[in-house]
Structure 1
């Protein structure tokens, strides 16, 4: 997967379904993240082919509850984002879905209580050895790329140090949310601290935070200091952003 200079649908709980991902792709998204799925839930699933809809569905065994669904059309661009706190369980879950997605991404940035209390999401930021164990285990055993998404640590130096450790594991890209665990969504994203990560790494950095309008693409590229930064944004203003992107390309 080519990660440079792409329009990316951000992972959004209860929003990033197959139908929404397909809509985002129609409006110009090059890469589409699914909503985060917890490994505990995925390991209880089995793959079923829905002939009527042409989709691959991952369904809880003994039920009709579809946990994740995808299709061949999006296989080259869909990123499966997982919540996990255990390398062995993460691998078991990944092996169930890896043949139907382009990339496996580990969520290391969610600050919600559910994730933190379960040792997932942003709780991993203070456990670099566990991060190493999870990513190394997946990369060693899977044939698809493995990435992760983090958020800012207490200091820019701490964030850069962790990002460098992750890069050394051979991930093809790293997503960085420009807020710290204690920050609220209304607090401005710290693009300057994302820029520190961009400057320190040789792999594409996925910049996340406060990219809501079309003009924000050029603003965040300038602020982070590179045109190789992958832009991640919420597609809730999908049509407006895509239309402006189309008109700009026509000029």
Structure 2
């Protein structure tokens, strides 16, 4: 296993904060596309991670950490490998080290959550409970810094007194961590309470490691330029954005916010591409809609009971492979398996897809492995009588132009007849092997 050699820099960065149910792979990738420099996973508990098995998912090209009940606890991919920080909940140094070693080759950094005020976290001695136990904080962070090759950070809340806060961060600095994220509120304070920029600034001036300011969404951050304003107000090295990014991830775009509908469609593409559970997809989309949840469109989203329901209301470019993957997921079948070969004589590709122990392929050879796999997926879908979605991948490639019953789905008759009116001269020949 190759260790990632890229070392994260925490100065002058915009960062997607760790957020429960938000920090899954589709949101992290979307944030990177829109300009974020670093993305944090949602907090994952060390005990749960140590129960997982690491699986190389060749269908999705991901690394999955899968629990005994087959639930995917953490999913990552090559695209984010140099940018994703794995945030962990822990109350034990050795257990934290074991979990960190388990994931370190697949991520860019490790973070310890020391600020979560939720009852579950505190009762387990994690999160904000650690703030009253500096000895344990020091043991956990020192053990990680010495035991793994990736940079270690932690995220804390401020203490009731400035002196106690400064004493704590100075002690944390001595452990050798790469940076510290400060949520500028006390444990009992919530988003509606003002963020204490003065305390974050005092911390930034008191220690030499990068300070990442967090908590400015309510009072400061409404668009990209506000991120810099918040950084200056706190004298921090970088800014971590939570709720403003949850509401519209294009907050990271230097060029300005994108229309919410466009952002949602881009998010859905990633959700489909990486087989995100529809409940998580629905939750993230609802957070983006916010006050529009009572609109007709919002009500339809709220009522959605599958990924396909969501696609219908928020059409995105859905490829045949996505459609086939979703169908297999719905039918509780194993994921499709693609076997692709290249012909030495002309360099063209042909792919065979296996679904439910049946093999499907196209008689056509294609210019790329990607197109060959899409062709095989189309054959499979048509043979099964399923909609194939829309594949449009550029000039001189397959361009399927169809009439639609609804966004993202084929008209039933066209699905039966194969290529619809306006399809290219290249014809796919359905072939079940």
Q: Residues 239 and 86 (structure 1 numbering): CA distance in 2 closer, same or farther, change over 3 Å?
A: closer
Q: CA deviation at 1:10?
A: 0.5
In the alignment, structure 2 segments of 5+ residues that lack a partner are 1-7, 258-433
Q: Does 1:173 align with 2:179?
A: yes
Q: CA deviation at 1:239?
A: 4.7
Q: Residues 95 and 240 (structure 1 numbering): CA distance in 2 closer, same or farther, change over 3 Å?
A: closer
Q: Residues 112 and 247 (structure 1 numbering): CA distance in 2 closer, same or farther, change over 3 Å?
A: closer
CA-atom RMSD in angstroms: 1.4
The aligned residue for residue 4 of structure 1 is: 11
Q: Deviations over 1:92-135 (max 9, x none)?
A: 11111111000010000001111111100000001011001101
The correspondence of residues 194-233 of structure 1 with structure 2, limited to 5 A, is 194-211=200-217, 212-214=221-223, 215-225=225-235, 229-233=237-241
Cα distance in 1 for residues equivalent to 2:249 and 2:99? 34
| Structure 2 counterpart of 1:48, from 49, 52, 55 | 55
Q: Deviations over 1:29-52 (max 9, x none)?
A: 100000000111101001000000
Q: CA deviation at 1:219?
A: 2.3
TM-score under structure 2 length normalisation: 0.55
Cα distance in 2 for residues equivalent to 1:169 and 1:134? 9
Given that 2:210 and 2:238 are in contact with CA atoms closer than 8 Å, whether structure 1 keeps it comes out as: yes
Given that 1:148 and 1:175 are in contact with CA atoms closer than 8 Å, whether structure 2 keeps it comes out as: yes
Greater strand share, 1 or 2?
A: 1
Cα distance in 2 for residues equivalent to 1:150 and 1:58? 26
Cα distance in 2 for residues equivalent to 1:68 and 1:224? 32
Given that 1:46 and 1:96 are in contact with CA atoms closer than 8 Å, whether structure 2 keeps it comes out as: no
State the number of aligned residues.
244
Q: Does 1:241 align with 2:251?
A: yes
The aligned residue for residue 268 of structure 2 is: none
In the alignment, structure 1 segments of 5+ residues that lack a partner are none
TM-score under structure 1 length normalisation: 0.93
The aligned residue for residue 138 of structure 1 is: 144
By relative contact order (CA 8 Å, sep 6+), the higher-ranking structure is: 1
Given that 2:116 and 2:128 are in contact with CA atoms closer than 8 Å, whether structure 1 keeps it comes out as: yes
Given that 1:27 and 1:238 are in contact with CA atoms closer than 8 Å, whether structure 2 keeps it comes out as: no
